[in-house]
Amino acid sequence: MSKPLVLFVDDEENVLNSAKKQLLEDEIEVLTTTDPFCALEILQKKNVTVIVVDNIMPLMKGIELLFKARSVSPETVRIMLTGYVDVNSVMEAVNIGAVYKFIVKPWEQEELKSAVLDGIYRYEMVHKLRDASEDQILELAQIIELRDPYTHGHCERVAEYALLLSDALSLDPGVRNEIKYGAWLHDCGKLGVPENILNKRDLLTFEEMRIVRNHPVWGAEVVRLAGLSETVAQIVNYHHEKYDGSGYPVGLKGSSIPLEARIVAIADIFDSLTSERPYRRKLSFHEAIQILLKEKGIVSDPEMVEFFIYLIEKSL
């Protein structure tokens, strides 16, 4: 793959110069412009890896520019620079996938570089997934897990539990494969979550939780851009929806949550409960089963939970 191209758009030259200076040490080509219309022309003519845009600009708001950028160059990773006053409006754009990540001005010295490098990796991941074999898909999922030492092996175990349920339901082999890929990639959107949040030992703040809750949307966009099936994208997007409608990112309820996503969600919850986490000890299978039973019909599909527990207990 050729050298990554990063495009900065801001109406202040000093901001552009500062941003460019921070990336000089890396093997990255950097273009800058104060004109959002010029930025759109660049997106049409060049393969831009990451675009970083200030939200408050006189000629065009950054959010509007990034919506246009998504249409012109959907694979380009979109990052927003924003002030405290407009974080809520930017979060709305994040929630619908127009913005991959946002940085509050003034940013910390390493914060911008880290966001850009994450964006480059996310762009490269889309291209790697596009032509990946089954083994390579699993390998990419495992690489993502390296960012969080507490989730080592998680995607494989989730797939194992999901396939246990899928096989017992005698699902079509093609659907079975989609469930496997969806289970492997269900957390691929966590590339957009800072490691200090992923590995935080204390409870997350409201703002930190808002960031974490965007990972299904980010992950589903990666899957769609990579050309994987819509079923795989829906598994990634909806694996945190709850049966009573209180989940995220959309708030789907009951059978409106795709069956494949309901299956992977149960597998994800069970493995999370029975694995060590920075904020709690791992639970025994018996303790995890009791939680699944307590929350059936609220968090998870009650029929699928009952069937899953039967299969787990049978395998013990």
Question: What pLDDT sits at residue 91?
Answer: 67
Specify the CATH number of the domain 5-126. Answer: 3.40.50.2300
Q: Do domains 5-126 and 134-315 have the same CATH topology?
A: no
Question: What pLDDT sits at residue 187?
Answer: 93
| Report field, pTM of the whole predicted structure over 0.85 | yes
The segments of the chain whose pLDDT lies below 50 read none
The H or E element spanning position 150 is none
Question: What pLDDT sits at residue 94?
Answer: 67
Question: What pLDDT sits at residue 76?
Answer: 96
Q: Which CATH superfamily is domain 134-315 in?
A: Hypothetical protein af1432 (1.10.3210.10)
30 CB-side CA count, 13 A:
20
SS3 278: coil
Owner of token pair 């899953």: 308
CB-CB neighbours of 64 under 10 Å: 16
pLDDT in tens, 227-241: 999 999 999 999 999
Question: What pLDDT sits at residue 87?
Answer: 62
Residue 68 appears among annotated catalytic residues: no
SS3 102: strand
Which residue out of 3, 101, 105, 190 is catalytically annotated?
Answer: 190
Owner of token pair 């309901």: 262
Question: What pLDDT sits at residue 1?
Answer: 53
pLDDT in tens, 37-67: 999 999 999 999 999 999 889 999 888 899 8
C-alpha span between 230 and 216 (Å, rounded)? 14
C-alpha span between 35 and 98 (Å, rounded)? 20
**Domain boundary assignment for the chain:** 5-126, 134-315
